[in-house]
Amino acid sequence: MPRSTRAASLIALSAVFVFGLPAGDAAARQSERPSPEAFAYTGPIDDAPATFSPAAPATSAAERLLALADKIDATRTDTQYSHRTRVRRREGLYHFDCSGMMNWMLARVAPKAHAALDRERPVAATYVRIIAKAPVGRGRKGWQQIDDIEAVTAGDVFAWKRPADWPRGGNTGHVGIVLAPPVPAPFIEDAYLVRILDSTRYAHQDDSRAEDGSTGFGTGTILFMADADGHPIGYGWYGALSGGWYRTQVVFGRLRG
């Protein structure tokens, strides 16, 4: 298939997954937002799953975070994306949105980092603000900022703000956990693929929730764009098969303490 035709197909596909709607309805919803920026393709598009290498977390707090994630994954029986956080561990019930998941997990494994969020109910934009203020070379109040995407590793936290030119209202952005070090996208310039854990209503590339249509807790692959210095500058929701990318503030944070 010619690349232009293939790219058009991917835009329609990513619309379905990003908005969870039939392509026509998704297009109508998407028209309320600016179009994504186009990728600079460096080779043929390949929809094969990316290969990620396991890596040890950089801190004990990150190790505890991943251990809790493993426990949830092993015992969950009822997961759901919900803006109201409801957890019954004995029953395997985990209902939360992306920030609700992070808030609940950090309160149990990284209370110092959780306390630094300075809001009764932190949201994705809260994580962006706090991580962006954290120092790069050391930790402070439970957080260290990682400003080079190639230094990101398992157990780090990612967060981004809703793009400034999107309509007001709705979610403030997105937040989740990095499961493996980023790998360069093989056919997109300045792009990195990252295997992540989050709570979402809409599937990512190679998503654990796609097979049964579940929402909430799960894993997938997201794409992040970087500038010439390796600083993250945007994201593609459906990984390398996204129909483009959105420029916005993206941060990676490492748990300390």
In tens, the pLDDT along 55-106 reads 999 999 999 999 999 999 999 999 999 999 999 999 999 999 999 999 999 9
Q: Average pLDDT of 3-7? A: 41
Cα-Cα-Cα-Cα dihedral sign, residues 81, 85, 90, 91: negative
Percent of the chain with pLDDT over 90: 85
Domain that holds residue 227: 3-255
Beta strands, E only, 29-151: 78-80, 86-88, 93-95, 143-145
DSSP 188: B
Q: C-alpha 112: how far from its chain's center?
A: 22
Q: What's the total number of domains in the chain?
A: 1
pTM score > 0.95 for this model? no
pLDDT band at 11 (very low <50, low <70, confident <90, very high): very low
- pLDDT above 60 (res 20): no
